[in-house]
A and B are shown apart, each in its own frame.
Chain A
Amino acid sequence: MIIGYVAGEGLLHRAHPFTSLTIAAGVTLLAFALPGTLSPWVLAGMLVVLAVAAGLTGAVVTTLVFSAPLWVFLGIIYGVFGTDWAVAAVYAGRISAILLAFLLALAAVHPGRLVDALVARRVSFAIAYLLAATLQAVPRLQHRAATILEAQRCRGLRTGGSPWRRIRSIVPLAIPLVQGALAEADDRAVALEVRGAVSGCARTPLSPPRDHLLDRVVRWGTVLVVLAAVVLRVVT
């Protein structure tokens, strides 16, 4: 089971980051635009073939693990009580196709390569920094949250008992987490200021990802297919 980047040399790893993201966005739109009960499942099937070809079969397993409980809920709500299994099948196929497309993009696109690709396209450094710094801050703060939890337990904080007691236990956990984060924000603000992060000047990435002809063909092809499907959906 995989969530996030997986190192590799498969065809999706070699592709430009924008190509993988365009495919994921295209599949998401097609899952809603294509008519028929089977079309989301056909999309999901094509993605399974792509995942196997790209050496990312773990993404298929993750999709199955995530989707299975949702299939059960949809089956109960629309199939058992609503007696409309076709609606349940459409929603289930749609969710599975979207999940798999996104997990494949996540597994193939390294955040650093994405930031380089964005900066190479003259996207503001501040926006690229926001995405990269947030992806790094999340695991760090989750680790800090676990440390605070252990420390407060050592000091006698009870994390069980009645709902009211558990709600009150959040306060001694949240305050050190937030005050620590605000102190860190001070240090980081100084570091960003002296590096001219908000100066607005364009930056040059050291090794931006190469954008091959095939990448551009796939991206524009995806856009055209999506547009055709949306027009067809509106007309018919």
Chain B
Amino acid sequence: MVRLSARLLALIPLAVGINLAMGKFASTLSLPVFLDTVGTVLVAALAGPGAAVLTGAVSQTVFTVVDGKLMWLAFMPIQLGVAVYAGLAARAGVFRSAWRAGAGGLGLGVLAATLSWPISLLLFGGVTASGVSLIATILTALHIPVAWAVYGASLATDLLDKTISFMLVFTILQSLPSRTVARFPLAARARGRA
């Protein structure tokens, strides 16, 4: 169980806000990604997997409320999986260099697609977000079985999305002033220098 300090209580709502604001940047730049886990991954690097799990859970709940689509709540396991993976990856030193962050992001992309695919297919017939649904529809039109079409569509978007997210968090961590890093005990270890 995570002990909620005042700093963590203040950080989590803002990290959720970052998750949703990054989505706004992605849509403004016309990028085919969501970037809606950047805040969760950042909290994982700054405060560990427990805090990231809480951020992921609140983020998915609030995203569901803001977007008005209850179906997003079914994808809670992805946010939680991302949080645990990112926390463990940060401990393993993934954010110490750019190539490690890229490789870690690719691993997370495979994990996220593998987690989201059965939820999307079994509960909603593979039709949820319009971009992913469009790719799945095109693949189905090419006579690829529905299950593989949905997995292929999820994998294509998640690999790109999570790799960019990890690289972005690596860049953010390296740019943080030492004074900020000193306030989060795990941050210095995550970015690999004092």
Contacts and interface: CB of A to CB of B under 8 A. Distances in A.
Interface of A: 3-4, 24, 28, 32, 62, 66, 69-70, 73-74, 76-78, 81-82, 87-88, 91, 94-95, 98-99, 101-103, 106, 126, 129-131, 133-138, 140-142, 144-146, 149, 159, 163, 166-167, 169-171, 173-175, 177-179, 181-193, 197-198
30 contacts: A3-B68, A70-B128, A70-B133, A73-B134, A73-B137, A77-B126, A77-B127, A98-B70, A102-B64, A103-B68, A130-B12, A130-B54, A134-B13, A138-B17, A142-B21, A149-B25, A170-B168, A171-B168, A174-B172, A175-B172, A181-B17, A182-B11, A182-B176, A184-B14, A185-B11, A185-B14, A192-B9, A192-B10, A197-B9, A198-B6
Contact of B16 (A138, A183, A190, A191): A138
B193 interface: no
Contacts of A106: 65, 68
Contacts of B128: 70
B136 interface: yes
Given A134-B17, A189-B6, 6 more contacts: A3-B68, A74-B127, A76-B137, A78-B146, A144-B21, A185-B11
A81 B172 contact: no
Given A137-B14, A181-B14, A102 B69 contact: yes
Contact of A142 (B24, B26, B61): B24
Contacts, number: 194
A133 B70 contact: no
Interface of B: 4-7, 9-18, 20-22, 24-26, 28-31, 35, 38, 42, 54, 58, 61-62, 64-71, 123-128, 130, 133-134, 136-137, 140-141, 143, 146, 149, 164, 168, 171-172, 175-177, 180, 183
A204 to B, nearest CB: 20
Leading 8 A-B pairs by shortest Cβ distance: A141-B17, A102-B70, A188-B10, A3-B68, A145-B21, A91-B125, A134-B13, A133-B13
Contacts of A142: 17, 20-21, 24
A70 to B, nearest CB: 5
Main secondary structure of the interface of A (DSSP, over half): helix
A27 B105 CA distance: 37
Nearest to A124: B4
Contact of A81 (B12, B141, B175): B141
A170 B176 CA distance: 16
Given A91-B124, A174-B168, A189-B7, A4 B68 contact: yes
A136 B17 CA distance: 9
A38 to B, nearest CB: 17
Contacts of A78: 125, 146
Contact of A138 (B7, B20, B130, B177): B20
